[in-house]
Amino acid sequence: MRQSQATEKALIEGCKRGDPLLQRALFETYAGKMMSVCRRYSKDKMEAEDSLQMGFVKVFENINQLKNDALEGWMKKIFLNTCLNAWRKNRSSILVVEEQQRDEIDAAEDSLQRLQAAELLELIDRLPQGAKVIFNLFALEGYSHSEISVLLNITESASRAQLTRARQLLQQRIQSQI
């Protein structure tokens, strides 16, 4: 067994026993990665920090349910669901937007490739919350529109419309920077 696997297994076992030192070690090990997940689905840093805290509470409450020791993937699902629950709770109505022609979308995607990652993340972060959540789920997490519709309790067409809206806004913002 590799050293990191042994360390992770010790963290898991310690957290299952409720050991506060190992809970803190787990938090310190994964807080940065889980904060990245939270930031992608939160309207601002404060909401992301709230989701991070709530996510770790859920991790510690449910750690005994972890079966296959795939800790990071299991935690990521918890944090994603925590953020989506917060989004559902606070969301405003989702805008319905007409589908854009494919060549306009291709132009936006070409422009996106020219941006630096940090600039792109900043532009995504400034999207309206509904468009931001759906864009992240679709483009970054790889969810389909049917999966997004189930996760967010919306129609597939609303998911597509929000993705189109996100792409339009990103394209406009990118072109204003070029």
SS (H, E, C) the chain: CCHHHHHHHHHHHHHHCCCHHHHHHHHHHHHHHHHHHHHHHCCCHHHHHHHHHHHHHHHHHHHHHCCCCCHHHHHHHHHHHHHHHHHHHHCCCCCCCCCCCHHHHHHHHHHHHHCCHHHHHHHHHCCCHHHHHHHHHHHHCCCCHHHHHHHHCCCHHHHHHHHHHHHHHHHHHHHHHC
Given a cut of 60, is residue 102 above it in pLDDT? Answer: no
pLDDT for 52: 95
Q: What is the pTM of this model?
A: 0.61
Q: What is the mean pLDDT of the chain?
A: 82
Please, what sign has the CA dihedral across residues 139, 142, 146, 148?
A: negative
| pLDDT tens figures, 29-80 | 999 999 999 998 888 889 999 999 999 999 999 999 988 768 998 999 999 9
What domains appear along the chain, each with residue ranges and CATH number? 3-90 (1.10.1740.10), 102-177 (1.10.10.10)
Which residue reads 């807080």 in tokens? 31
pLDDT, position 87: 83
Query: What's the rounded Cα separation, in Å, for the pair 95 and 51?
Result: 25
Is the pLDDT confidence value at 104 over 60?
no
If pLDDT is split at 50, 70 and 90, which confidence band does 97 have?
A: very low
